[in-house]
Amino acid sequence: MKIGILTGGGDAPGLNAVIYALTRICTYKFNCEIIGYKFGYRGLYENNFVTLTPQSTSGILHKGGTILFSSNKDNLFDYLVDDGNGNMIKKDVSDVAVANMKKEGVDVLVVLGGDGTLTSARDFARKGVNVIGVPKTIDNDLASTDVTFGFDSAVNIVTENLGRIHTTAESHNRVFVVEVMGRNAGWIALLSGIAGSADVIIIPEIPYSLDKIVEKIKQRDAVGKNFSIIVVTEGAKEKGGQAVIGKVVSDSPDPIRFGGIGAKIAQDLEPLIEHEVRSVALGHIQRGGDTSPADRILSIRYAYAAANLIAEKKFGNMVCLKNGRMDSVSLEEVIGKPKIVAPVNELVNAASAMGISFGA
């Protein structure tokens, strides 16, 4: 059998670990040939690929990013092409991708991605392509799996950085607002906020009020804690307010990029308290660097489960983790099902019971 792999959407620590493990398992255990398409679906359209072997993928297990490159712009079912007269038009070019796979003798396509990338994976499955999905995103916002790879690494990075913010905040009696990724899901802020001893955690699922944040800071002042750390998810909003849009990427299927809520909260808060306020947006630092050991292991488990699905010819599925065990779910059931933090959640309750404010 010949297997094609591609990585789509924003990069996440663990992509290389899946490529590494899948290449080894499919080569050694199942005697398959493996190629990797470059830049996600664009590589499939342009037939731009590299051969993957245990030798060519050696040394990448721990590395963040993806040796196959990625794009969060290319949807081959609605793809920007030249109409022949110099005009750019959107067109379904998925047949070109299918023809390219046939030409190269690719029997199975393994797609590593989040909701957007997996939507196209489902659409290729509907066209009769043998597809296996592997769930990736630092945001951990896919309902069909307990946890996506990349999330643990992001939580580690944010937690470590909260420690750094703590020492400078304390030294200057300042309030810091730390903006983290996650889009409309507060998982990164919730877990790293708890692990990193934040005083206030603001997530999109629980709209905040400034009064409540001020109340928490004043409570801390009253007991001699003259600094405070607020962690906020990029997609959070004030009660009755709107999320803050940082950038519109017009040629992306999902064009909105959040950004700026941390700076907004800092600006709104400063006149109301007796502290200088600073904001820090951790941004893409959260996706960079090495993959955490837990994400390396999770990625290897996903790769092994994906290889077994291929061997059993159970196509059209995504590998997933259910109650700690590897499982699979139809790609038809995966799409458009976001996993957000329920406002009444064990971790939210535990954090509240410890005195962490959610600004509500």
**Catalytically annotated residues:** 139
Determine the residue with CB nearest ligand F6P: 181
The DSSP secondary-structure symbol of 357 reads: B
CB of 249 to ligand F6P, least distance (A): 6
Residue ranges in 108-127 that form contacts with ligand F6P under rule CB under 6 A: 114
287 is a site residue for ligand F6P (CB under 6 A)? yes
Cβ neighbours of residue 354 under 8 Å, at least 6 residues apart? none
Q: How far is the CB of 332 from ligand F6P (least distance, A)?
A: 22
Instruction: Name the residue nearer to ligand F6P (CB basis): 45 or 258.
Output: 258
Residue 339 as a binder of ligand F6P (CB under 6 A): the answer is: no
- Kindly state the smallest distance separating residue 311's Cβ from ligand F6P, in Å: 31
Report d(CA 257, CA 260) in Å as an integer. 10
| Minimum CB distance to ligand F6P, residue 319 (Å) | 19
10 binds ligand F6P (CB under 6 A): yes
- Paired sense of beta strands 256-258 and 2-7, if any: unpaired
Given the rule CB under 6 A, which of 137-145, 155-163, 292-300, 350-358 is the region that contacts ligand F6P?
137-145
Residue 26 carries which DSSP code?
A: H
Contact 211, 232 (CB under 8 A): no
Give me the count of residues in the chain: 360
Neighbour-count burial of 108, counting CB atoms closer than 10 A to its CB (0-12 exposed, 13-18 middle, 19+ buried) = buried
Q: How far apart are CA 215 and CA 273, in angstroms?
A: 10
Q: Which of 74, 123, 139, 179 binds ligand F6P (CB under 6 A)?
A: 139
| Contacts (CB under 6 A) with ligand F6P, residues 214-243 | 234
Give the distance, in angstroms, between the CA of residue 292 and the centroid of all CA atoms in the same chain: 14
Interacting residue with ligand F6P among 151, 258, 304, 358 (CB under 6 A):
258
Q: Which x/- pattern, by CB under 6 A, does the window 174-213 give for ligand F6P? A: -------xxx------------------------------
Neighbouring CB atoms inside 10 A of 349's CB total: 11
Piece of the chain touching ligand F6P by CB under 6 A; list 97-105, 136-144, 190-198, 310-318: 136-144
Contact pick of 23, 27, 70, 72 for ligand F6P (by CB under 6 A) = 72
The encoded tokens of residue 95 equal: 């047949």
Least spacing, CB of residue 166 vs ligand F6P, in Å: 23
Kindly report the number of other CB atoms within 10 A of residue 87's CB atom.
Answer: 8
Choose which of 22, 34, 112, 138 interacts with ligand F6P (CB under 6 A): 138
210 touches 252 (CB < 8 A):
no
Q: Which stretch binds ligand F6P (CB under 6 A): 101-109, 117-125, 131-139, 336-344?
A: 131-139
CA 295 from chain centre, in angstroms, equals 12
| Contact between 278 and ligand F6P per CB under 6 A | no
- Comparing CB distances to ligand F6P, the nearer of 149 and 258 is 258
CB of 251 to ligand F6P, least distance (A): 11
Contacts of 185 (CB under 8 A, 6+ apart): 139, 140, 141, 203, 204, 205, 233, 235, 338, 339, 340, 341
Q: Supply the minimum distance, in Å, between the C-beta of residue 158 and ligand F6P.
A: 11
* Secondary structure letter of residue 271 according to DSSP: G
358, 201 contact by CB (below 8 A):
yes
**Contacting residues toward ligand F6P, per CB under 6 A:** 10, 72, 114, 137-139, 181-183, 234, 257-258, 287
